[in-house]
Amino acid sequence: MLRYLTLRIAQSIVTVLLVTMIIFVIIRLIGDPTHLMLPPEATEADRELLRQQMGLSDPVAVQYWRYLLQLLHGDMGMSYRFSLPALDVVLGRIGPTLLLTCTSLAIGILVGVPLGVASAVRPDGWIDFVAKAIALFGQAAPPFFFGLIFVLVFAVQLRWLPTSGYGGPQYLIMPAIALGWYSAAGLMRLTRSNMMEVLTSEYVRMARIKGVPERVVVYKHALKNAALPVLTFASLQFGILMGGAVSIESVFAWPGMGKLILDSIANLDYAVVQAAVTVSALMFTAINLAVDLLYAYIDPRIRYA
Amino acid sequence: MTTGIARHLRTLSLVSVLLAPVPAAAIGGKPAVDRDTVVMAVSKEIFNLDGQVTASGDSQRYGWQLYDTLYALDRNGDIVPRLAAGMTRSEDGLTYTFTLRTDVKFHNGELMTAEDVAYSMDRILDPAVKSTRRPAFAPVVAKSEAKDAKTVVFTLKEPDGAFLNKIAGYLFIVPKAYTQSLGSPEAFARAPIGTGPYRFVEQKIGQFVTFERFDDYFGPKPGIKRLIMRLIEEPSSRVNALLTGEVDLSDGIPTAEIERLKKTPGLTVHSVPIGSPLGVRLYANDPSLPISKAKVRLAFNYAIDANALIKNVLHGAGAPLTSYISSYYSYGVNRDLKPYGYNPGKAKQLLKEAGYPNGFEISIYSSSDWPKEIAETLAAYWSQVGVKAKIQRIDYAAWSRLNNTHKSGPMTLMQMSNAIFDPIHPVTGGASKAGTWSDYSNPEIEELILEANKTADRSERDRVFKRIGAILHEDAQAVLITEIFYVYGADSALDWAPQPGIAWYDLRTIRWK
């Protein structure tokens, strides 16, 4: 187990390093921020001076090496747009992003998994019908569509909730449900199909023949075996929700990471892009690592492989 | 990717508009917070609060609340003393002596002196500060010095007829002792101090900036105690927040929403020109292009119905241009000029005379900052006279890089902002040999620019720019589309009107009725 853990951590570090290197090079290929930083009256000499001040005139390899050295001191450079350390800008977004991601994912799991199980146990029953309808809407329409509908109904018409913004729980409800619905749809369908498969497998039949109560068959024998792909899916959802909730962040003016990364790329704010991608990569690999360890816990075959 | 999403959102919001008559409740005199507070929705992130460093587009949102300038633009478009009591210019135009007011305090309680003013200029000139204003001052300013506590002298390397305009547009005054005491130039942005009617309280990136009234302000004080600028980038979300009364005021109202908001009880829509032309920049210096010929450029203008475009695409938020110099400058506007007008027959005739009876193919860039319908409408009009224009739509940041380095040819949709309240800005920037956004040159214009640079006399400048306007009109250096208007939605109980002729936000005297 210790060997397995060490190996996985080493792999994670390599992954993060690779991701930072790729983004470091790619963002520099997109363009030079000095055109956006200085007013267009600026001359080429003005821009060159700025490039030197920012260390952009050195070869990319030198710049990357310098970045890694700074990284060891926890320094990710300055955001030119905010005149703030890039890490501070990114850390300011982590709280809101994690709050939204975890709440939506929790909604997704709490709604999706039980519904999936229930509809697998009684296919074509009324629960299955409702679950299918929920899944259909959740997968067919993008989350921002529900976001907009929610705003019109619950904020503009009924005035129950604020239209957008970040603050207390009242601000979280609509974006979390809009995103959670999307996750719930996928999780429900995956749980349902896996459970159906497992429930018809021989060892489940064996358990039933032995007279094990149905509740235990479903939740202990079947669900534990159907859970692996669901867990994988949920961890991937986490990554998607972390950086990919841009449209929901836009509709609800939610100060999240997705919008920050996108805007920073558009404005060539190198330091923020690098910091945001590094932090996201760290979190995502950490989640993956945790999921892998959970696998090992759930499925002994992985542990001893 | 964002623009794709944004477009769907917009379409959706239009659909939803049809579905939903909004219950009138929270608007019309019921403030979002209380009668001492105004909450304003702003469409663009407020980046850096250091008014000397941040790019002009961002400083619009807060700069005028936090900082003052020696001279400033008043509501009539005149440049009047603000922190200065008066100013003298030497015969040769090389020495500007400002006498300062003696009752001005910074937000930290210190009195403003000539030392602070001289330092503010030096700070802009210091490359380590990375001031975006440096390119405006570095080529002309030789030195700035404090003669005594209330006298500042700026010595120029060469005469600059628009120097006072630059002072009014760009030289925000910051406190010397405080600013120098900070560890780095960047530190100032986190705790900015000026002399303006509001002081900085808090900034949450991606969320809001809070200001509070500066009670020791030397001039007319704001009628509210707190001003909150809330970032809401999505247009339909801004409109919703306005409708539910979560914000009292919003910028960037989509033109398609103007009619609906006007009909909503308790809301007022302000649509004001910002003194900026929206046009098509033409790479006329390239002799291989048909647009190097004046007749073709004129034909491009006659072929479009600017009034119809303003009415239907911009929902009325615009006005036809008569030349590249906006009609909303307080001087230098040639009122004898008339818009080209829609005349496809004349356009065809001109194309024929230029040697293109069957038209030609050309391409045009359009950045994501402008609705794609504008370029599409232009292309449709041009196709009526035989010219096939291919639209290349690209992201704003990428476009801006191309446009600032003469790589946005052969044509691009482009606006010129009014930054210093003098027509020299669009003329040198967009119609001169050395202009950053110009690929047009005309010896007559070059001479007139030199003439303008030599004189700071307003009636002289008026005459020179009127002449420039007439020449640009005749030679069609650009395709003229519209004056740019900013559209705001506001609670009707707010006593406020936007400053016309400029893209900056002036909330200095806002109050509840």
Mutate to test the interface with B, among A28, A150, A163, A267 (most CBs of B within 10 A): A163
Residue A305 pLDDT class (50, 70, 90 cuts): low
Find the mean pLDDT for residues A238-265.
88
Question: Looking at beta carbons, which residues of chain B come within 8 Å of A259?
Answer: 206, 233
Between chains, do B22 and A156 touch, taking CB under 8 Å as contact?
yes
Closest-CA distance of chain A to residue B48, Å: 5
pLDDT value at residue B59: 65
What distance in Å separates residue A17's CA from the closest CA in chain B?
Answer: 27
Query: What is the per-residue pLDDT across A255-295, written as a single tens digit (0 to 9) for each?
Result: 999 889 988 988 889 999 999 999 988 888 888 888 888 88
Q: What pLDDT, in 10s, does the model give residues B236-282?
A: 999 999 999 999 999 999 988 999 999 999 999 999 999 999 999 99
The predicted-structure confidence for B159-192, as pLDDT tens digits, reads as follows 999 999 999 989 999 999 999 999 888 899 989 9
Percent of chain B residues past pLDDT 70, beyond the cut: 93
Q: Do A250 and B6 touch (CB under 8 A)?
A: yes
User: Which of residues B416 and B375 earns the better pLDDT score?
Assistant: B375
Residues of B in contact with A53 (CB under 8 A): 127-128, 130
Q: Which residues of chain A make contact with B140, given a CB cutoff of 8 A? A: none
Average pLDDT on A65-84 reads: 89
- The answer on pLDDT for A304 being more than 70 is no
Residue B30 confidence class, pLDDT cut points 50, 70, 90: confident
Question: What pLDDT is stored for residue A50 in this prediction?
Answer: 85
Residues of A in contact with B22 (CB under 8 A): 156-157
Residue B378 pLDDT grade (very low, low, confident, very high; cuts 50, 70, 90) = very high
Q: Which long-range contacts (CB under 8 A, 24 or more apart) does A173-176 make?
A: A174/A147, A174/A150, A174/A252, A175/A100, A175/A104, A175/A147, A175/A245, A175/A248, A175/A249, A175/A251, A175/A252, A175/A254, A176/A100, A176/A103, A176/A104, A176/A107
The candidate with the shortest Cα–Cα distance to B179, out of B276, B106, B101, is B106
The pLDDT of residue B42 is: 93
Cα B502 to Cα B256, B340, B384: the distances in Å are 22, 25, 35
**Cβ contact B193:B116 at 8 Å:** no
**Mean pLDDT, residues B297-322:** 95
B406 pLDDT more than 80: yes
Q: Do B2 and A156 touch (CB under 8 A)?
A: no
Confidence at B135, pLDDT banded by 50, 70, 90:
confident
pTM over 0.90: no
Question: Nearest CA of chain A to the CA of B8: how many Å?
Answer: 9
Compute the distance between CA of residue A172 and CA of residue B298 in angstroms, rounded to an integer: 55
- What is the pLDDT averaged over residues A234-240? 85
pLDDT band at B4 (very low <50, low <70, confident <90, very high): very low
Taking CB atoms and an 8 Å cut-off, how many pairs form between chains A and B? 160
Domains of chain A, CATH where assigned: 2-87 (no CATH), 92-269+283-299 (1.10.3720.10)
Q: Do A40 and B404 touch (CB under 8 A)?
A: yes
Residue of B nearest to A161 (CA): B244
Residues of A in contact with B234 (CB under 8 A): 164, 250-251, 253
pLDDT the model gives residue B24: 47
CB contact under 8 A, A53 and B127: yes
Mean pLDDT for B218-222 is 94
B418 pLDDT tier (thresholds 50, 70, 90): confident
CB contact under 8 A, B23 and A266: no
Of B22, B188, B205, Cβ closest to residue A92: B205
Residues B428, B449 contacting (CB under 8 angstroms): yes
What is the pLDDT of chain B when averaged over all its residues? 90
Q: pLDDT digits over B9-20, tens only?
A: 455 454 444 444
- Closest listed residue to residue B100, CA positions, set B51, B63, B139, B152: B152
pLDDT, residue A256, reads 92
CA atoms within 13 A on the CB side of B268: 15
Nearest to A163 among B134, B190, B237 (CB): B237
Question: What is the mean predicted confidence (pLDDT) over B382-395?
Answer: 95
pLDDT computed for residue A229 by the predictor: 84
Kindly indicate the confidence band of residue B96, based on its pLDDT and cuts at 50, 70 and 90: very high
Contacts of A244 in chain B (CB under 8 A): none
pLDDT score of B326 more than 90: yes
pLDDT in tens, B106-128: 999 999 999 999 999 999 999 88
DSSP, res B127: G
Using the beta-carbon criterion (under 8 Å), do B2 and A152 form an inter-chain contact?
A: no
Give residue B7's pLDDT: 52
Beta bridge partners of B229: B40, B209
Which tops the pLDDT comparison, B326 or B396? Answer: B326
Give me the mean pLDDT over the B454-461 stretch: 92
Chain A residues touching B53 at Cβ < 8 A = 83
Q: Do B237 and A253 touch (CB under 8 A)?
A: yes
> What is the value of ipTM here, to two decimals?
0.84
CB-based contact B400 A30, cutoff 8 Å: no
- Sign (positive or negative) of CA dihedral B185, B48, A263, A288: positive
User: How far is Cα B115 from Cα A296, in angstroms, rounded to an integer?
Assistant: 69
